[in-house]
Amino acid sequence: MATTPAPRPGERVTGAPAAGTQSLPRHIAIIMDGNGRWARQQGLPRIEGHRRGVASVRRATEHCARLGIEQLTLFCLSSENWRRPAAELDFLMHLLEQYMIEERDLLMRERIRIAMIGSRAGLPEATLAALDRTVALCAGNDGMRLCLAINYGSRAEITAAARALAEECRAGRLDPATITEETLAARLDTRGMPDPDLVIRTAGELRLSNFLLWQSSYAELWVTDTCWPEFTELHLDDAIRSFAGRERRFGGISAQ
């Protein structure tokens, strides 16, 4: 299928209504789904789908960085994924560790910064060490932020933020009457990060799966039936083009 180039930062998309045209999304978040499904369709073990998915991570990261996207957040492992077979989880942890080491050249070349959201509890020490080393190595970069959601669940994140506010109120450091949306957002894992403008989900599932529930309140959603191992720059361009043609009203009235 022919695909026209994605818009550059600040560029308006020809053919879209003027009022509904937007520049590139500031923050793209992706629910990378369908690794196991793809492997099953190919007659391969599930872990081969995860292995193939790493190439899609590389493509998406490099493409977003070169387009000038400010932040890319990838849903790597949910807090619910611990229900999967131990062998598969061990492989995923090894794959993450390997990625953190092997992609350092790319991350430095594209000046990408790394961040992690989610709980460190239960993650192997070797995986955390590789992640921490890469975060430190990329700390001085001034390009796109690549945020990895690992052992992450949005409800747990919001619950922890509410608990922190309650503790501050009990200690007398915070007046409950002064709590605002911004006050709670400052206690989330994503504090200091922009909310996602565009949430992409692969493999055709029409749900957020406990991913960035607070942050995605006004995000534009784009879903493709393509499984993550087959997700390419062309799919990403299609999602960005769809975003660029939408009118984001944030509860207001259409300019039309």
Active-site residues, by number, are 33, 81
Residue (of 30, 86, 36) closest to 59 by Cα position:
30
Q: Give burial (CB, 10 Å; 0-12/13-18/19+) of 19.
A: exposed
3-state helix, strand, coil in the chain (%, to 5): 45, 15, 45
Beta sheet of 27-31, edge-to-edge order: 113-117, 145-152, 71-78, 27-31, 198-201, 220-223
Query: Which residues have a Cβ under 8 Å from the Cβ of 175 and sit 6 or more positions away?
Result: 169
Show the tokens assigned to 154.
Answer: 């949005």
- Dmax (CA) for the chain in angstroms is 61
Task: Let me know: does 100 contact 128? Beta carbons within 8 Å.
Answer: no
Find, among 203, 197, 162, the residue nearest to 181 by Cα.
Answer: 162
Contact 165, 174 (CB under 8 A): yes
